[in-house]
Structure 1
Amino acid sequence: MDWKALVKNVAPTIGAALGGPAAGTAVKFLADKYLGDPEADEKDLAELVLNSSPEQLAELRKLDNEFRVQMRQLDIDVFALAVDDRKDARGMAAKTSLMPQIILSCLFISGYFGLIWALFSGEVVMTPEIEKTSTLMLGVITGAIPMILQFWFGSSQGSKDKTAQMAAQKPG
């Protein structure tokens, strides 16, 4: 399982920061507050998050509120940063040929569903030696699918922001 996806489910503000340009700030915050080691890196955090007890995940949820307040004090909206980051990627793609993005997206998604088919059809048998690593890799690949879809179709946060802007611009 992807540790960042787990964080995003439990602590959405920190999760949004981890997926955008404020990732370094979120990692440092988690290393200090959740792990208790300001020098810890992503690998250390991943190990702790993936092996967290329900009580530790509840603590992570509490830390999300603290992180949100800290970001608000710094006048940083991590959700807007994440949306802007994706918007920049789409803007760059609009100015250049989309062919590389199209090819990579198609290859990735085709490969993903081919792998899923192979696993569930019995074409590929996972031995105990590779099962743990294969499961981890499948989780990471599965976590990338929403990123591809968000690139092409936008995110729900972006849709909410756009709806709010349109409502604010309505006369009357």
Structure 2
Amino acid sequence: MSHNLELLMDWKAIAKSVAPTLGAALGGPVAGTAVKFLAGALLGDEKATEQDIANTILTASPEQLLKLRSLDGQFKLKMRELDIDVYRLEVEDRKSARELGIKGGLWVQAVLSFVFISGYFFLTYLLFSGSVEVTPAFEQTGTLMLGVITGAIPMILQFWYGSSQGSKEKTQAVKP
């Protein structure tokens, strides 16, 4: 797998698909705890950086992914011992962000979303219509940039429309 392709991949999404509790923690308010846990348990070095963990997950063998899956259960137990519900924290984190947007109005988010998505489709049109010539020197960088921009589109849609059915089910399970 090429280095640029690895950069395009979202290592946290891989972690979440293999180890859901750890993945949820990595994207929420207890991310530091999850990173420290993974650094020690997966890499054997509690001082390892998030980038070290990302590199390990992006290049993981099936055996390493299996180990990551088993670490998910250990992390879940550790969080339960500390009386921390990772999924509740994840839901509350998103809920508070949405409430903040509602209280202050969503015009800034709406404008930024519109500009970003319009710019994305305009750029895509230019590239595929042949209106712009992509030089060999820019091809690799342009591909990387287009991949990163494309990866941001689902985040914008998740902000406005919520994420997956699984998240909706988690939200329903968290409600008292």
Give the TM-score of the pair, scaled to structure 2. Answer: 0.78
Q: What's the counterpart of residue 87 of structure 1? A: 95
% identity of equivalent residues: 58
Aligned residues of 2:38 and 2:53 also touching (Cα < 8 A): yes
- Tell me by how many angstroms 1:157 deviates: 4.6
Counterpart of 1:91 in structure 2: which amino acid? E
In 1: Cα distance, 2:97 partner to 2:47 partner: 31
Segments of 5+ residues of structure 2 without an aligned counterpart are 1-8
Q: Would you say 1:25 and 2:46 are equivalent positions?
A: no
Aligned residues of 2:88 and 2:174 also touching (Cα < 8 A): no
Q: What's the counterpart of residue 57 of structure 1? A: 65
Counterpart of 2:60 in structure 1: which amino acid? S
Q: What's the counterpart of residue 169 of structure 2? A: 160
Q: Deviations over 1:33-92 (max 9, x none)?
A: 111110011111111111111111111111111111111111111111111111111100
In 1: Cα distance, 2:27 partner to 2:73 partner: 18
In 2: Cα distance, 1:33 partner to 1:165 partner: 29
Q: Residues 12, 118 of structure 1: CA spacing in aligned structure 2 closer, same or farther, 3 A cutoff? A: farther
Q: What's the counterpart of residue 34 of structure 1? A: 42
- Tell me by how many angstroms 1:3 deviates: 1.0
Aligned residues of 1:20 and 1:85 also touching (Cα < 8 A): yes
- Tell me by how many angstroms 1:115 deviates: 4.6
153-162 or 91-100, larger mean C-alpha shift: 153-162
Q: Residues 118, 157 of structure 1: CA spacing in aligned structure 2 closer, same or farther, 3 A cutoff? A: same
Higher RCO (CA 8 Å, separation ≥ 6 residues): 1
Q: Residues 42, 9 of structure 1: CA spacing in aligned structure 2 closer, same or farther, 3 A cutoff? A: same
In 2: Cα distance, 1:7 partner to 1:140 partner: 19
In 2: Cα distance, 1:56 partner to 1:165 partner: 31
Counterpart of 2:108 in structure 1: which amino acid? P
Aligned residues of 1:79 and 1:157 also touching (Cα < 8 A): no
- Tell me by how many angstroms 1:163 deviates: 4.1
- Tell me by how many angstroms 1:14 deviates: 0.7
Give the TM-score of the pair, scaled to structure 1. Answer: 0.80
Q: Residues 19, 127 of structure 1: CA spacing in aligned structure 2 closer, same or farther, 3 A cutoff? A: farther
